[in-house]
Amino acid sequence: MSSNKPAKSPRKAPPQMPIKVSSAKVAAARDTLASLVTSKDVKAKQQQEGQLKYIKGYSANTIEQVKHHIANDTLGRLLLNRYPRIHDIRTDKALYDYAMGYKQAYLKQSDPLSKVIFDEKISLSHQALGLHTYANRVQGSKVKAKNEIRISSKLKFIPEPLLRMVVVHELAHLREKEHNKAFYQLCEYMTADYHQLELDLRLLLTCIELGKSPY
């Protein structure tokens, strides 16, 4: 005898439960996506760091003030109000005479200075505004020190106080080779507002970096 078994009915899939997500979770997910760093964000950060590279060693308050001026396009106007005119020192001879005036006034007993010139090869991109070189030269039976100062040619068209800051900085190296406390005291001795001038020169370099030099 053949037994006829009832055919099995197909298994039903379990009922699907509706997925419910709270509006708070949706908002949180949206905020998370918005906070993800994009290549555009990285590029913007790198650009800002490049703009601020000359003042990165200053206080957070100073940096925030500079950012504010950059955002409002007032940094150049600030410098122009402080220093309305550029100097008229254009030749190496004029630069030498200018530097020697400060040497005779403040560093008369220091090593002699053989040369002070403008140098086209010194770039502003690495903050190398000036260079002081020192070498011993043998002349007969005597050894003589030869000191030279080279200033970036790009500083031909800036206000005189800012040029003074660079010249004073390089002259101070005649006595102090390192950037130590004594070095900066000597800079302040030669020009009392040395640190303010250094900051203002860095602000001018920032303007140049932005392509917005006021001079």
pLDDT for residue 214 is more than 90: yes
* CA–CA separation, 112 and 97 (whole Å): 14
Give tens-digit pLDDT for 54-86: 998 899 999 999 999 999 999 999 999 999 999
What is the pTM for the complete model shown? Answer: 0.74
For the stretch 105-164, pLDDT in tens is 999 999 899 999 999 988 776 555 777 676 555 556 665 668 999 999 999 999 999 999
> Could you tell me the residue ranges of all domains in the chain?
92-194
What integer pLDDT is reported at residue 80 of this predicted model?
98
pLDDT for 123? 79
Fold observed for domain 92-194: Zincin-like (3.30.2010)
